[in-house]
Amino acid sequence: MTRIAAAFQRARLENRAAFIGYLTAGDPSADATVRMAGALDAAGADILELGVPFSDPIADGPVLQRSAQRALSAGTTLEGVLAMAARIRARTSLALVLFSYVNPLLRRGLAAVASDARDAGFDGALATDLPPEEAGQYQPLLRAAGLDTVFLVSPTSPAGRMREAARLSSGFLYVVSRAGTTGARASLPPELAATIRRARRAAGSLPIAVGFGISTPEAARRAAALADGVIVGSALMRAAEAAGDKREEAVALLARSLVLSCRRAR
């Protein structure tokens, strides 16, 4: 059983949704990223998506765009992200997902990425702009290295694409809560329950995690009632951005409130 599968199993046994946090690696530094990962672990997070900063983050809203730019300005590379992951792996019990646009992975070479990510301690990978129809080389190489592969579906995904994304996924299927870019929102869309029902029909027993727009305990509570995992990224990076030198404390404080909201009433 992979760490990702174990995280969902543990959450299920504890009658809660798994909490999945996202951090842009290298924002504002490698050391800060490792410390924030430790703060998430201490707050009760189950899985960490460690984002590779990219110069053209078309799926990201303004918070993550600024975060990626700061990380790139600090000199963060894919090699540096792998080094951060190794440090996080040694210091935490978090399951780790390499979160990237596909271009940096192709530049390094998919076979090399698969091997290097495994050796760094990653448990899975997600290429946010790689549709399932174009994953012919990507998915087998990463799975052969022992990494889970995570694909995304959205409210506009037809049934066939949802089935194909689920077929290629292991670990979990990522359900984007709304069309558009990432970013904290005041509330979740009313059609989310219907989107998750469609995703469950496609996924079968594969866990489903929902992300994009979850920023408050109330939104996390609603998402946890529908899905097996709750993903929060922009809200965590916004809290870190606003807190400056107190970023670890701010991330831990927000994460604790969101982790508590992932618990379901018995």
User: What is the chain's length?
Assistant: 266
Q: Is 41 labeled as catalytic in the residue annotation? A: no
The SS3 of residue 156 is: coil
The SS3 of residue 126 is: strand
Nearest to 259 by CA among 224, 233, 225: 224
User: Which structure tokens are listed for 54?
Assistant: 């990219």
Catalytic residue among 27, 41, 49, 123: 49
Beta strands in 29-180 (DSSP E): 47-51, 95-100, 124-127, 148-150, 152-153, 173-176
CA–CA distance, 135 with 52 (Å, rounded to integer)? 19
- The DSSP symbol for 263 reads B
C-alpha distance from residue 21 to each of 48, 50, 157, 214 (Å): 5, 9, 24, 11
Residue with tokens 């993903």: 231
**28 preceded by a cis bond (ω within 30 of 0):** yes
Q: Is 49 labeled as catalytic in the residue annotation? A: yes
Catalytic residue among 27, 41, 46, 60: 60
Q: What is the residue type of 27?
A: D
Q: Residues with catalytic annotation?
A: 49, 60
